[in-house]
Structure 1
């Protein structure tokens, strides 16, 4: 008889990375002010921000958090500090997956690595004005990490739909809930990964891509779920940056529980469902297009089903983990927000219905959106 998992096995540490777009406070057009925002955040507010590929983006990182409540507190404080730093230099920081207004091309950040990426990948780098949310969850070792990725990958379409937050580009509705996902898919190593039999198999595939020149190094292996390059974690990177902290925390709780369950399953010898990579890619495309209010292929049943129902299936599956690790209240808060007001993409469409730039920027502003959280409709 299998040994029951200890409570600690349900409670791996978690970390969250969020990328934000810097825009003109009146027009909403991206502005290359990252150097100034990073300097003000560090020198005046004591917050260490990360540069991103273009000068119109900045990134925040939580510490290693014992639960999603700690992550929530850190995200709220970091977002407020970034908003303040942006205002200080005369711009605005917004939480959006892709620029809703203006040109979607930015200046590549002046660093050795980013200049090399720009030389090798041309317009792909300049058009990388997209912002994601990456969730890291601790795993025991690399071999386990690879197997955990196999268990997590069937749920990538649902995870992507939860924070879909980029319906616009150039002031026009793209018809997608996550336009960011489509822009991102142009990179040669992106989207859902294949199934890996072992860490050695994973390393061999990575070596092939680096040899082919489609990735400069392992940090450019941009799959939607992967073993992290520098940390003992599994990193899920399928999602748009969330419009609100509540949605970011919901995503973090889902990923944390999925990884915790997967670690236990790997220890018990439970095999992951070997969903073909191309099948998973079709489902992820459908989720990016439709958003949480639509339907896409359920890769476990082989039938098209509403994404909101697939999310309910995932929550039901993981509820024992949420109860054990204390994240269930955060999950319920996030679900109430989604059911009451829709995803970020749906809220953007309502705010921008009459072409009112101010309403859209107020909705996406990382300070205004998260002081008290959006008010739910009765």
Structure 2
């Protein structure tokens, strides 16, 4: 394993996996190559790369200091994507799943790693046509990264509920707010990182894992949060891609504010027993979103996740203001009060339109910030 790199504490980097759809019936369209070619001509921050199947594209910011910085870079990337998509007569859409695409129709993007994964995982590779937001958080040392990872794990349900945007799969309402994570869970190296607070112990775990031949690099772990030694970060991977870049930046502001609370107030020490309720809390958030039940890992008390989220957002408010994320945290709190997330918006549009293609069309307009 490569050494843990240097990064400034609490810096951010955001990746968004996005849908490419045609403007005829709003199904997924295999235009990744064409989009990459056009995007390479633009002077934009961050990077634009292909993803597992050819109807996906991923954009990422550079190293950002704040949620506002993230929003500035994502807005430039979004505007570039929309201009290029217009030239190709396609559209770009957020959301954690495409509501009615058929996985067997997807094409694996022609890249050695994607071909290898397709040969290893079979049909799961095409079913992995799902779309997430990943948030990288800068950590000053390897041990600090592990401490941050395990503290952040208590708040994975909160991240899922705030970002949930994948209620529909293959034309059906799954009754989940985040069905995307069910696709991720099918992979053998998914779930959570092993509990250790010492990087030397983590390195020993990684050495044992690579010696078995089960994994070759950190990329082979599909954990909800994983260390990224080459960047000096931890990477939170449970967010569905939001429908707007504003929501994506607000979620990054939530992560940064939460981390600042951990660093400056040290509200608790993570324990291995935290993970006794981890899978249950994760399922509740995926299934019910903001209406989930949250089990406190210390007391075992059951309470509405929405109440715990509002309590958390109040605790973070001072740190958020100091980081310039106050408006983002306030916007999230207002949505939590109303029980609103992107999954609810998608269901409301479908209830009104009764046509998923029209829901996707409106989602494309929303992503592009067009009325």
Confirm or deny a common fold (TM above 0.5): yes
Aligned residue in 2 for 1:348? 346
1:86-143 Cα offsets, whole Å, 9 max, x none, are: 2322322110101211202421111111111112222221211011111111110112
Q: CA deviation at 1:273?
A: 3.7
The answer to whether the 8 A contact 2:27-2:101 is kept is yes
Matched, 1:312 2:310: yes
**Deviations, residues 206-252 of structure 1 (Å, cap 9, x unaligned):** 33444445434211212111211420112111110112223212211
Where does 1:263-342 land on structure 2 (aligned, <5 Å)?
A: 263-264=263-264, 271-337=269-335, 339=337, 342=340
58-67 or 224-233, which deviates more: 224-233
Whole-Å Cα distance in 1 between the matches of residues 94 and 225 of structure 2?
22
5 Å matches for 1:35-46?
A: 35-44=33-42
Asked whether 1:148 is paired with 2:115, we answer no
C-alpha separation in 1, matches of 2:279 and 2:212: 22
Q: CA deviation at 1:72?
A: 1.0
Could you say which residue in structure 2 is the equivalent of 1:51?
50
TM-score by length of 2: 0.89
Match of 2:94 in 1: 95
- 152-161 vs 350-359, greater mean Cα deviation: 350-359
Structure 1 position 343, deviation (Å): 0.7
- Name the SS of the counterpart of 2:286 in structure 1: helix
Describe how 1:188-203 pairs up with structure 2 within 5 A.
Answer: 188-203=188-203
Q: Secondary structure at the match of 1:54?
A: coil
SS at match of 1:59: strand
Q: 1:341 to 1:45 in 2, by over 3 A?
A: farther
- What TM-score results when the alignment is normalised by the length of structure 1? 0.88
Residue equivalent to 2:5: none
* Count of aligned residue pairs for this structure pair: 361
- Does 2:96 align with 1:76? no
Q: 1:246–1:333: 8 Å Cα contact kept in structure 2?
A: no
Say if 1:91 and 1:299 are closer, same or farther in 2 by CA, change over 3 A. Answer: farther
The CA deviation string for residues 271-330 of structure 1, in whole angstroms up to 9 with x for no partner, is 224344352011101100001133343434423322211211221222232132221122
- Contact kept? 1:45, 1:81, Cα under 8 Å: no
1:3 — aligned with what? none
Unaligned runs of 5+ in 2: 1-7
TM-fit CA distance, 1:257: 1.9
Structure 1 equivalent of residue 14 of structure 2:
16
Partner of 2:118: 118
Alpha-carbon distance in structure 1 between the residues aligned to 2:342 and 2:211: 39
Cα root mean square deviation, aligned? 2.4
SS of 1:43's partner is coil
Q: 1:340 to 1:77 in 2, by over 3 A?
A: farther
Q: Distance in 2 between matches of 1:68 and 1:26?
A: 35
CA distance 1:324–1:35, shift in 2 (3 Å): same
Q: Which residue of 2 aligns with 1:215?
A: 215
**Offset of residue 338 of structure 1:** 5.0
Change (3 A) 1:245 1:371: same
8 Å contact 2:146–2:227 — kept in the other structure?
Answer: yes
Task: Kindly indicate whether residue 237 of structure 2 is the aligned counterpart of residue 248 of structure 1.
Answer: no
Q: Distance in 2 between matches of 1:122 and 1:39?
A: 29
- Aligned counterpart, 1:62: 61
Quick check: 120-129 or 130-139, which moved more? Answer: 120-129
Q: Which deviates more from structure 2 when the two are superposed, residues 140-149 or residues 225-234?
A: 225-234
**Cα gap change, 1:35/1:315 in structure 2, threshold over 3 Å: closer, same or farther?**
same
Change (3 A) 1:278 1:54: farther
Q: Deviations over 1:17-53 (max 9, x none)?
A: 1110112223222222111111111125657411111
Determine helix, strand or coil for the equivalent of 1:352.
helix
Rounded to whole Å, the distance in 2 between the matches of 1:78 and 1:65 is 14
**Bigger shift: residues 64-73 or 159-168:** 64-73
